[in-house]
Structures are given as C-alpha cells and as structure tokens.
Amino acid sequence: MPAACESVLEDIEDIVSAEDLKPHDRQFVRKNVFPKVRKRSSQKNVQTDDEPPSDSIIPGVQKIWIRTWGCSHNNSDGEYMAGQLAAYGYKITDNSAEADLWLLNSCTVKNPAEDHFRNSIKKAQEEKKKVVLAGCVPQAQPRQEYLKGLSIIGVQQIDRVVEVVEETIKGHSVRLLGQKKDNGKRLGGARLDLPKIRKNPLIEIISINTGCLNACTYCKTKHARGDLASYPIEELVDRAKQSFQEGVCEIWLTSEDTGAYGRDIGTDLPTLLWKLVEVIPEGAMLRLGMTNPPYILEHLEEMAMILNHPRVYAFLHIPVQSASDSVLMDMKREYCVADFKQVVEFLKEKVPGITIATDIICGFPGETDEDFQETMKLVELYRFPSLFINQFYPRPGTPAAKMPQVPAAVKKQRTKDLSQLFHSYNPYDHKVGETQRVLVTEESFDSNYYVAHNPFYEQVLVPKDPVLMGKMVEVHIYEAGKHFMKGQPVSDARVHTASISRPLAKGEVSGLTEEFRRSPQNGTNWKAQPSAEIPVKTRLSSWMALQLPWQQERGGLKILSVSLALLAVLVMFYYGGMKTEL
C-alpha cells in the first residue's frame, strides 16, 4: 500500500520546526492568556426594546387602574387592594389609558354586571394592557373560556395582590383561589388591618363576615363567597377605632348577610353592635348593611334598641324578593311573607321613622300573574322609599337556571309595572318644612351639591360649601324629590365636626400607622414597618424599602448566587495557574 507522504516521521518531535516555540516559551505565554467571554447571538436571547426581559422589569413603579362592580363588600375589597399596591409603590390612577395594568374586580349577581366585566377584559387585551382579575366571577367559575391565561386573585386572597400584580407585570399568569383557614376552620378572609385607599376618606366600609348560611337557588355569589365565616368582635372594633383615628365619620357594616354574623363563632349581631357603638365618637354614625328576615327575627327587640341609638342610622335593608310564599319556597329563602311583615311592622312601631329598604326579583321561574300581584300589593302597602327592582337573570350553574323560565317579554313587563308603581308615590313630600340634623359626607353625581344623610339615612342635598364637608349640621328642608330632599343650613345652627382627627387626603393610604406582622394563619406577607418608614408618596429611590419579605429573600438569593459563581471562577483560574507552575 503506498504511503500517504514520502517522508517518514520517526518521532513526534520531528514536526517541530526551528521557528516554533520552545516548551519554556509556551509556559510563559500561557501565564498571560485571559479567558474571553463569547457573545451568543441566538435568536431566542434577543429582546426587543418594547418588551424587556422579565428580570429587568422593576416592580412597584407601574400605574394601576382599578375598576370595581357590585356590592359594598366588593368595594371594600377593592379599597384594600388599592391600599396595598399604593403602599408598595405602585401608582393608582383614575385614567385607564395611562395604566400599565388593569385590576378588574367583578360581581356575579347579575348577567349585565358580568357582561361589563367581560367587555372590560376584551378592551384591556385590545389595548395591550396587563390584566389581573378579582371578585366573585373568576372565584366562582375560574375555568371559563374568556378567563384562560389571565391572572386571578381570589376573594379570600386579596392580601396577596402585590405578588399577583408583580408576576403579571413580568408576563406570568398567576392564580390564587384558595381559602384561608386556621386549624381547619375557615376564616373570614384577609386581615382587617391591611392598608387601604378609601374611595371616600370619610367613609369606612367594614366587612363583618363573608359568605352566608343560605342556599338560594338563584344566587351565584354563594359559589364565590362560600359558607359563613365571621371576623372576631375585637378585630372589628379595632378596625373601627383605627378608622375614626384617621378622620372617618361614617362606618358601613357589610357582608352577604349581616344578620347571620357570629353564628359560626358563638356570638351574634347585637353583641357586635353594642361593642361598636361604645367606640363611635360624637357626631359620627354607623350604617348597618343587608340582613335576611330569618336572622333578624331572633333579635327584634335588641335590634330595635340599637337602631334607636343616636349614633346608628335608623335604616335597615331587608330583601323580600317576592310576596308569594310559593315563589319564596322555590327560591329556598327559608322564610314566608308573614315573617317579613312581622319584622317590618315591629320595627316601624319600635323605631319611629325607620327606613326599610328591600329587593324584589321580577319573573323568577314559576312566578304566576297571581304571585306577581301579591308582590305589587306588598309594595303598595309599605311604599318602600328605597326599592331595588331586579329582572330575573338565570345565572349559569344555579338551580334556578334549570327551572322552566318565565318568557322574557313577561319578565320585562312585570319589571316595568313594578317600576311604575314605585315611581307613583313620593316618600318625602310630607317632610318639607322640617328641620333635620344631617351628616355631610359626599358630593352629588352632578357635582352641584354635597350629599348628607339624616338620622333615617334619607338623602339630603345641601349647598356645596366646603365648610360643611364632614360636618353634622341642622338644615331646613325646602324641597323633596323621589330619591332625595334639599336642605338649607339653619342660620344660627351649630356646625359640629364629626371626625376626631383630620381625614386622610383623597388617595392617601390608610392603615400605615399599624405594624404589619407576618401571619401564617392568613398568609399575609407584610413585614413589620411603622408608617414613618414607608412614606405614602414613594418613588423608585425607596422601592427597596417597600419590598415584601419573600421578595427581599428572593433578591438576596439572586445576589448570593451570582457572588458565589464569580468566586468559583476566580478560584478556578487561580488554582489552574498554580498547578501549571508546579
């Protein structure tokens, strides 16, 4: 076989020419060689300017727009979420267009509310906004098609909103839908001493419990809020005290059913109310939320005494829904029309002038013309000054949605007939000429008046004089409408300041005077920090001071990992050089 080349190599050294480096020279050159970092140009590592890598996004500096639908309980949740985000450094904005993220807090009571929620999600996606969903809709049905791929925070997880928003801004999808428990017992929800931004700095909304004991066949809220879980009395009283110290002059107690409060923790609503009235300062007022007839029946005597208290509005919201016992049975309301009438008659007798508000559903499945006429008679009998009329909408997943439905045209006509009856009387005409004591707390929708309420929680419009805001004042009623009266301050009347301290500014974070403790029971992650160390108006320079503990730990681990890696590289080169010299 022919050789590959003509000359034969006897030894490997034969390939070294005279011009090549000698072994000593090669060792000298090696000491002066430094590693060079090779830049990768793979497409997957290329980031566009408008989409920076998630690790480069600094959380806590973006603008958040929050939209809330539904009841006062939902509004309270929205205030808590806004407060935590603002305390962390995010800017809460009223301008949805300039926001980086939309936080949509939903209501599942009616189809129209969910339709608005769904349309807002679509709009946010069209405008390339980050989205976090909250409230009863995603809690009750998180697997709906239009919720896929979106971040969700459950109704009992609102104390973790900062985590969810942070991860969503980084491009991740997060879902926290669990329930809070203590030794297996379901808790009311997030802690009451969390930061919040009150929509109205003069009004504090306190959720005394979540969930209920009923199983109404039309209700979707039960699917989201679950069974009854009450907050301890001492926590509720502490929250009220803190609110008054921050300039609040009106407290609203809210829940899915305030009348059921305490049944799960061995107490009751009157016991809570007596404790609360002890801490209400002079001039401030308390408003009780909705209660169903079965639970108020047990405490009528005590409730009448409480509603006569000078610092409690003589107002009660008691939903009847229908004046037909057969319809109430199909609704599984657990009372009859006679029970409702007993409550109303007793309170009207024992609490003169009391305002009774109620709800009515028109066109519930199986409702006959006779059933509806009974409801019309009830409204004619009591002439409720505040009546919430709802056309029945079948909510998916509820028993009522599977029942034979009343034709849409019939439901619409019954709703119209009841509305016409309601608008046929004016409940306040007889009060023209009276002098009333009112508490001024809000601005009217048309911005032309301030809104006040008299002891019966009836709306009184007063002149838009900044001196009156947050004050208790006597007014002369000179005009009455369907939903309001108009009053002029009496010339020689004493204006009493209801707040015991200066109210917070609009948008200012409440609760920063409290120290936040790490609480494994409810999963909160706030680190103990006095408010002096966390200014409300926080900028990027103080962002690190606002980090939650789990975020501080994660950042520390990243720094430690990088430091160890650099140290390992230096050690490797150092010992590599020593071995060569040896």
**Distance between CA 288 and CA 258 in Å, rounded?**
8
Query: Which residue intervals of the chain bear CATH 2.40.50.140?
Result: 430-497
Query: Which residue intervals of the chain bear CATH 3.40.50.12160?
Result: 63-178
Longest dimension (CA), the chain: 129
Decide: 204 and 248 in contact? Cβ < 8 Å.
Answer: yes
**Distance between CA 189 and CA 155 in Å, rounded?**
8
Residue range 352-407, pLDDT digits in tens: 999 999 999 999 999 999 999 999 999 999 999 999 999 999 988 899 999 999 99
**Distance between CA 566 and CA 259 in Å, rounded?**
63
Q: At what angle do helices 300-307 and 269-277 cross, to 10 degrees?
A: 20
Q: At what angle do helices 300-307 and 337-350 cross, to 10 degrees?
A: 40
Q: With 0.95 as the threshold, say if the pTM is over it.
A: no
CATH 3.30.70.270 fits 186-425, yes or no: no
Query: Which residue intervals of the chain bear CATH 3.80.30.20?
Result: 186-425
Two tokens, residue 254: 């809210």
The matching CATH number, chosen from 3.90.180.10, 3.40.50.12160, 1.10.286.10, 3.30.470.10, for 63-178 is 3.40.50.12160
What are the φ/ψ torsions at residue 416 (nearest 5 degrees)? -65, -45
**Distance between CA 417 and CA 414 in Å, rounded?**
5
**Distance between CA 35 and CA 203 in Å, rounded?**
66
Count Cβ atoms within 10 A of the Cβ of residue 417 and give its class: 0-12 exposed, 13-18 middle, 19 or more buried.
middle
Residue of 509, 510, 501, 443 lying closest to 283 (CA atoms) = 501
Instruction: Report CA 35 to chain centroid distance, whole Å.
Output: 55
**Distance between CA 345 and CA 58 in Å, rounded?**
60
**Distance between CA 307 and CA 350 in Å, rounded?**
9
- Class of domain 430-497 as given by CATH: mainly beta
Across 305-372, the runs of DSSP E, i.e. the strands, are 315-317, 355-362
Which residues, in sequence order, are bridge partners of residue 102?
65, 131
Instruction: Report CA 261 to chain centroid distance, whole Å.
Output: 20
* Stretches in the chain below the pLDDT threshold 50: 1-20, 23, 26, 41-49, 513-558, 578-582
Element (H, E) at 25: helix 23-30
DSSP designation for 545:
G
Count Cβ atoms within 10 A of the Cβ of residue 264 and give its class: 0-12 exposed, 13-18 middle, 19 or more buried.
middle
